């Protein structure tokens, strides 16, 4: 089974800061990596698919990168509405794995 890890598990940053979250896969997963944002009390929402493609309607301050085993989600200019937990997710032949999540707060 492929395991997904995320770091850090939580972070605090100031409004306007550049924030980067990392997702690591236990083996090469090419670009089969997606990112979701989950605000408190809400369902997850797709941000990035196929490692780097921005979902329609998602602000351009969000970007994704990486391939193989190492992936990043970057928020270029953190906004108060970005307070949320962020999850990476991998897909392989109708089996899905979510990372443990990274909680982002405003300092």
Instruction: Indicate whether 87 belongs to the interface with another protein (CB under 8 A).
Output: yes
Sign of CA dihedral 59, 41, 66, 92: negative
Least separation in angstroms between residue 98's CB and another protein is 4
Which window, 13-21, 64-72, 73-81, 94-102, contacts another protein (CB under 8 A)? 94-102
d(CA 102, CA 29): 20
Instruction: Indicate whether 91 belongs to the interface with another protein (CB under 8 A).
Output: yes
Which window, 11-19, 34-42, 62-70, 71-79, contacts another protein (CB under 8 A)? 34-42
Q: How many H helices and E strands in the chain?
A: 0, 11
Q: Which CB atom, from 17 or from 55, has the smaller least distance to another protein? A: 55
| Residues whose CB is less than 8 angstroms from the CB of residue 83 and which lie 6 or more positions away in sequence, other chains included | 39, 40, 104, 105, 106
Binding site for another protein (CB under 8 A): 32, 34, 36, 38, 43-46, 49-50, 55, 87, 89-92, 94-101
């Amino acid at each position: 089974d492929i395991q997904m890890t995320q770091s850090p598990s939580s972070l605090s940053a100031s409004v306007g800061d550049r924030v980067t979250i990392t997702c690591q896969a236990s083996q090469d997963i090419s670009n089969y990596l997606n990112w979701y944002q989950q605000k408190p009390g809400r369902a997850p929402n797709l941000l990035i698919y196929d490692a780097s493609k921005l979902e329609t309607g998602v602000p351009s301050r969000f970007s994704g990168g990486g391939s193989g085993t190492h992936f990043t989600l970057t928020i270029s200019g953190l906004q108060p509405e970005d307070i949320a937990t962020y999850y990476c997710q991998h897909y392989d032949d109708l089996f899905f794995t979510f990372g443990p999540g990274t909680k982002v707060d405003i300092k």
